[in-house]
A and B are shown apart, each in its own frame.
Chain A
């Protein structure tokens, strides 16, 4: 039996207008979503991820209109200091043309503006996405209400001269509402792109939106994608997102995930190594506090020989917050010579903080190297003593070391400006603003 949430979301389907060519996928999504059992503690993929936030609120109010009054705040929320990028800004799920320089690019097409060929390409991708292994009911919902989205295509042997930033900003409203977000990315042979997806909030009210995101990515032969997914919505918002990546021969995928924490932040990541020679490198940081919940479910599929994957996630859980990390590596029978590594380390700052970390290894090939570690880490006593021996209090030492634990991953980002931009944001989380500006630090060379 469908829940109230499902019923109300299905009513949204009838309330949204969509072009005819999207109707078949919407119908499939609707039917599947209506029939899907609501996840409970007994549903393996959602075992530790309570959806009570969604069940308790209706999320069916009208989407709040964008007012020109907060244009400045919106622009500020979308800006990554020091980064020159093409931007696509969606406010409450709707394109904000003045802030969206990327609309001028031929590589970026909104579903509603797609020509017949592009419609066919989009429809094909949408259909493929329904076949992904980790498909769940929120992917069905995404299809069901689909009426807009973004298609990014980088053609053979080409690249964008700047990173592309897709920034979804939600504003608070009187009543809770839902936003559907869909991004399709195609990198053809030898293409290259840096894609930054941000999910942020701007509001005087609590941001009480529910974002249902799905980003499907095809990386062609020898193509390279650097991908950032940064969840930095306000505390009250709910987010469920999937990013699914298909890698072809010798393709290269590098990603960084940030889960700052909110009432519900769930991210499912699937990377498919379909053909030999592809490589993926994924890192991520999550720092929930208060009573926030962050859940990362990652799945690395090795279906072909001679591929490598390397995944590192670190979390710091404060107060009575909760984090879930489920890291699956699936090495298929023919995936000989696979190198797969996964490390997940967590720091619990209080005894009410909770982490459920679960490694899942399934290996059907015999000539592979696979390392997998999931731990609840302790701060290093030697390091703490070193700081204290220099006059720093035990408590400050704890804060510095905790921040250092995740800062290591920021230091390693392929775009140092993004690390520089995130560092103060995260440092503040630990009650410690950096003493020096980026310019001051950069001057030391």
Chain B
């Protein structure tokens, strides 16, 4: 699915990613944990193609394609989806119109006609219900005035609409109450598929009780410093991250 090799990236001339390697096969779920400022969100942003993140070495291929050479929108059309840690509010741009444009752009890339408005609305109603948001959220501006938890659910709703092949969830569980956490977990589990992979960035082991990962990695100082199975998350919860630094 995605293969990241020796990835180095700078933000405002400051090196953040310092030789990151990660290989994810179709159908796998990888959790990434790690201290604040380690570079987890930077990894997501670099993969999604945000301006201002300069890749200085290394490579990343999605289904065999060099995605680092693509524009952000092309990466999305190739099946990459980033659920943002801090989704932006865009007042004046209707959530509904935005989603429709997004779905149609991705369909066009797949050689499909735009979805007719009736089928689109049916699907949108279904997905918004699945994340436990009221339909009226579709009428509002993109994330406009949404609470932290509502924004996260809206990210998940977009993911369900777009059906990407690689989903990167950057702290989608942070700031959620236990019910919302289950909504997120349920959403991800329902989307689990042999042809879809997930990178789940989280600080909390509890999410991994609901979404059981195939691998857990620790990202510290711009590199993966330790990888293991789901039991690694429990160990991290208990011991924190400092023992890894002394080990490294």
Q: Tell me whether chain A's interface is mostly helix, strand or loop, or mixed.
A: helix
Closest chain B CB from A396 CB (angstroms): 6
B117 touches A440 (CB 8 A): yes
Chain B contacts with A in 98-124, Cβ cutoff 8 A: 98, 100-102, 105-106, 109, 117, 120-121
A391 touches B162 (CB 8 A): yes
Closest to B158 in A: A390
B105 proximity list for chain A (CB < 8 A)? 390-393, 396
Count of chain A residues near B, Cβ 8 A? 33
Contacts A388-B71, A389-B76 given; does A436 touch B97 at CB 8 Å? yes
B88 touches A441 (CB 8 A): no
Name the segment of B8-16, B47-55, B171-179 touching the other chain. B47-55
B87 touches A436 (CB 8 A): no
A385 touches B51 (CB 8 A): yes
Interface size class of B (residues with CB under 8 A): 35 or more
Contacts A391-B109, A435-B100 given; does A400 touch B93 at CB 8 Å? yes
B50 proximity list for chain A (CB < 8 A)? 385, 389
Chain A contacts with B in 80-129, Cβ cutoff 8 A: none
Closest to A396 in B: B101
Q: Is A394 an interface residue (CB 8 A)?
A: yes
Q: Is A44 an interface residue (CB 8 A)?
A: no
Name the segment of B133-141, B181-189, B204-212, B222-230 touching the other chain. B133-141
A400 proximity list for chain B (CB < 8 A)? 93, 97-98, 101
B136 proximity list for chain A (CB < 8 A)? 444-445
Q: Is B236 an interface residue (CB 8 A)?
A: no
B120 proximity list for chain A (CB < 8 A)? 435
B106 touches A436 (CB 8 A): no
B91 touches A436 (CB 8 A): no
Most chain B CB within a 10 A radius of its CB, from A396, A407, A411, A444: A444
Q: Tell me whether chain B's interface is mostly helix, strand or loop, or mixed.
A: helix
Most chain A CB within a 10 A radius of its CB, from B77, B90, B92, B135: B92
Contact of B102 among A382, A391, A405 (CB under 8 A): A391
- A400 CA / B105 CA spacing, docked (Å): 14
A396 proximity list for chain B (CB < 8 A)? 101, 105
A388 touches B97 (CB 8 A): no
B125 proximity list for chain A (CB < 8 A)? 444
B91 proximity list for chain A (CB < 8 A)? 404, 408, 411
Q: Is A386 an interface residue (CB 8 A)?
A: yes
Closest to A435 in B: B100
A407 proximity list for chain B (CB < 8 A)? 92-94
B92 touches A389 (CB 8 A): no
Q: Is A370 an interface residue (CB 8 A)?
A: no
Contact of B121 among A390, A397, A436 (CB under 8 A): A436
Most chain B CB within a 10 A radius of its CB, from A382, A388, A441, A445: A388
Q: Mark B128-148, 1 if CB is under 8 A from A, else 0.
A: 000000011011011000000
B96 proximity list for chain A (CB < 8 A)? 435-436, 441, 444
Q: Is A383 an interface residue (CB 8 A)?
A: yes
A20 proximity list for chain B (CB < 8 A)? none
Q: Is B73 an interface residue (CB 8 A)?
A: yes
Closest chain A CB from B31 CB (angstroms): 22
Chain A contacts with B in 402-421, Cβ cutoff 8 A: 403-408, 411
A408 touches B141 (CB 8 A): yes
Closest to B159 in A: A390
Closest to A410 in B: B92
Q: Is A66 an interface residue (CB 8 A)?
A: no
A393 touches B73 (CB 8 A): yes
A389 proximity list for chain B (CB < 8 A)? 48-50, 72-73, 75-76, 82, 84
B84 proximity list for chain A (CB < 8 A)? 386, 389
B101 touches A392 (CB 8 A): yes
Name B residues whose Cβ lies closer than 8 Å to a Cβ of A.
Answer: 48-51, 71-73, 75-77, 82, 84, 87-88, 90-94, 96-98, 100-102, 105-106, 109, 117, 120-121, 125, 135-136, 138-139, 141-142, 158, 162
Beyond known contacts A392-B102, A444-B125: 19 more, CB 8 A cutoff:
A380-B88, A386-B87, A386-B88, A386-B142, A387-B90, A387-B98, A389-B49, A390-B162, A397-B73, A400-B98, A401-B93, A406-B92, A407-B92, A408-B141, A411-B92, A444-B121, A444-B139, A445-B135, A445-B139
What are 5 A-B pairs at a CB distance below 8 A?
A: A404-B93, A405-B92, A411-B141, A435-B117, A441-B139
